[in-house]
Amino acid sequence: MDGRDEVVALDREHLIHPQHFTADHTDPLVFVEGRGAVLRDADGREFLDGLACLWNVNVGHGRAELAEAAAEQMRQLAYATAYVGFTNPPAARLARRLVQLSYPNMSAVYFTTSGAESNESAFKIARYFWRRQGKPGKVKIISRVHAYHGVTLAALSATGIPAFQRMFTPLVPEFVHVPPSYPYRQTEDPVEALERAILREGPDTVAAFIAEPVIGSGGLIPPAPDYFPRVREVCDRYDVLLIADEIITGFGRTGKWFALDHWGVRPDLVAFAKGVTSAYLPLGGVLVSRQIHDAILDAPAAERFMHAATYSAHPTCCAVALRNLDILEREGLVERAARMGERLLAGLQTLRDLPVVGDVRGLGLMCGVELVEDRTTKAPALGLGARVLAEAKKRGLVTRIRVGQAGEHPIGDTVLLAPPLVVTEDQVDRIVAILRDSIAACL
């Protein structure tokens, strides 16, 4: 039994995967190495990393500098809590740096270790804020159909993809869904729908609206350009906090450090994770505005912010994040994402001559190709995406799809692309060429 077979056997016997079913994956890829935008498996085969693994390896694979940053910090201090009366240098420095990098109205950060935990914390901070304002009834969270906010119970309740929810209901109460801005399939004005939902629920019951600036796992859906400015107006009109879920879009992915900057909009809270460390270690967090920060700072003893997580502000994760931000800045990777994203989107647009390509969309290095059965009716292609992925894998490209759905909120299988920000021109062109051949092979 060579190393690879042993790994596969042990995996089959003992590893529960979040989303793959052992019976369907008798021959999983065993990745053992990565460099830049390329992954190598245990058999020595190379694959273009079409999704930066899970939209997170922003600075690319194989950065010894990040390993060194972690080792340096571990040698110095393994861990320190951020609980009552304690702090540590990398966490405090990172907090300051994130406040400076993000929106001008941001003031402070609470650190987590994942995206879902960041959203959970954002929901609690929103409730906390309103309670501190003397409005304890403002507890509901409005989110969107096709949204992905993670799968812990409250995050799952905000997520708008039924396939994740089906086996875990009932969901948490006080979560409400509205349609997103989805230009390819828009049937109603999504901002009016949001306003109607706030009025129907009662503005005095709504704490926050959460949205990904560009929907990621739910189908790679950038909004219409006027969507977020209008959302901001509606949120302001009814005293509803705007939570930007920038877990994918933060740290350069869309060609800006944070994505609501594309439309000049400032959120009240920003949930982040993934790209903050480029996935070298797990770290996430919530940035909060000055106003929310003040509500926490000024609280009387009986109303203090009581939250907890052992690994909040973990020094090693924060040290790696600081070095990751150095790399993003030093190498101009945010600007590079904008340039490479334009090239990728332009390349993908040429696939529109294939009869199953319904829509091609993107912002920065986040691009999607939605597959349909019929371009006139836009009937979603269901099942085709998995076949395209298999063909792409044979040709040396790995990525993921949004599995499509029919029904009230249809979407076709959508190929998702978000390579590391270090992806080269040549690799971008190869991604497009492989995708063309892979789709053509399924016709």
From 58-66, 200-208, 242-250, 259-267, give the range in contact with ligand PLP by CB under 6 A: 242-250
CB of 290 to ligand PLP, least distance (A): 24
Smallest CA-to-CA distance from 404 within 148, 183, 146 is with 146
For the CB of residue 432, give the shortest distance to ligand PLP in the complex, in Å.
Answer: 23
| Shortest distance (Å) from residue 75 CB to ligand PLP | 28
Among 130, 148, 227, 258, binds ligand PLP (CB under 6 A): 148
Q: Which is nearer to ligand PLP, 149 or 293 (CB)?
A: 149
- Rounded to the nearest whole angstrom, what is the least distance from the CB of residue 247 to ligand PLP in the complex? 4
Q: Find the DSSP H helices in 215-287.
A: 227-237
Q: Does 116 help bind ligand PLP (rule: CB under 6 A)? A: yes
Which of 58, 114, 181, 277 binds ligand PLP (CB under 6 A)? It is 114
Read off the tokens for 37: 């935008």
- Quick check: helix, strand or coil at residue 283? coil
Q: Is position 154 an interface residue for ligand PLP (rule: CB under 6 A)?
A: no
Q: Which lies closer to ligand PLP via its Cβ, residue 140 or residue 144?
A: 144
Residue that the structure tokens 């009716």 belong to: 377
Identity at 133, one-letter amino acid code: Q
Structure tokens belonging to residue 88: 């540590």
Pick one of 150, 267, 275, 385: the residue that binds ligand PLP (CB under 6 A).
150
Taking CB under 6 A as the binding criterion, the range among 57-65, 144-152, 303-311, 357-365 that sits at the site for ligand PLP is: 144-152
Distance in Å, CB of 248 to ligand PLP, minimum: 4
CA distance 209 to 268: 10
Q: Which stretch binds ligand PLP (CB under 6 A): 145-153, 174-182, 202-210, 401-409?
A: 145-153
Which residues are within 8 A (CB) of 443 and not within 5 positions of it... i.e. 6 or more apart? 354, 355, 356
User: Strands 140-144 and 106-112: what pairing?
Assistant: unpaired
Which residue in 49, 120, 195, 245 binds ligand PLP (CB under 6 A)? 245
**Nearest residue (CB) to ligand PLP, 123 versus 347:** 123
Q: Is 88 in the site for ligand PLP (CB under 6 A)?
A: no
50-53 CB contacts, 8 Å cutoff, 24+ apart: 50/392, 50/397, 50/398, 50/399, 50/416, 50/417, 50/418, 50/419, 50/431, 51/398, 51/399, 51/400, 51/416, 51/417, 51/418, 51/419, 52/279, 52/418, 52/419, 52/420, 52/421, 53/279
Contact 369, 435 (CB under 8 A): yes
| Min CB(152)–ligand PLP separation in Å | 7
Q: Nearest-CA neighbor of 70 among 317, 430, 337?
A: 317
Eight-state DSSP code of residue 281: S
Please provide residue 353's backbone torsions phi and psi, each rounded to the nearest 5 degrees: -75, -10
User: Site map for ligand PLP, 201-240, x if CB under 6 A?
Assistant: -----------x---xx-----------------------
Where do we find the tokens 């998995």?
A: 386
Residues in contact with ligand PLP, counted by CB under 6 A, come to a total of 15
Q: Which stretch binds ligand PLP (CB under 6 A): 112-120, 183-191, 307-315, 404-412?
A: 112-120
Is 368 within 8 Å of 220 (Cβ atoms)?
yes
> Minimal distance in Å, beta carbon 322 to ligand PLP?
20
Nearer to ligand PLP, 247 or 372 (CB): 247
User: Out of 109, 247, 356, 442, which residue is the one contacting ligand PLP (CB under 6 A)?
Assistant: 247
**β 379-380/400-402 pair status:** unpaired
Whether a cis peptide bond, with omega within 30° of 0, leads into 170 is yes
268 touching ligand PLP, by CB under 6 A? no
Angle at 282 between CA 278 and CA 288, to 5 degrees: 85
DSSP string, 21-34: -GGG-SS---EEEE
Closer of 240 and 271 to ligand PLP (Cβ): 271
State the first-to-last Cα distance of the chain, in angstroms, to the nearest integer.
39
Q: Does 115 bind ligand PLP (CB under 6 A)?
A: yes
Among 125, 154, 158, 273, binds ligand PLP (CB under 6 A): 273
In this chain, which stretch among 1-9, 148-156, 325-333, 430-438 interacts with ligand PLP, using CB under 6 A? 148-156
Residue 135 CB-half CA count within 13 A? 19
- Report the residue number whose CB is nearest to ligand PLP: 115
Select 115 or 315, whichever has its Cβ closest to ligand PLP. 115
- 140 versus 402: smaller Cβ distance to ligand PLP: 402
State the residues that interact with ligand PLP by CB under 6 A.
54, 114-116, 119, 148-150, 212, 216-217, 245, 247-248, 273
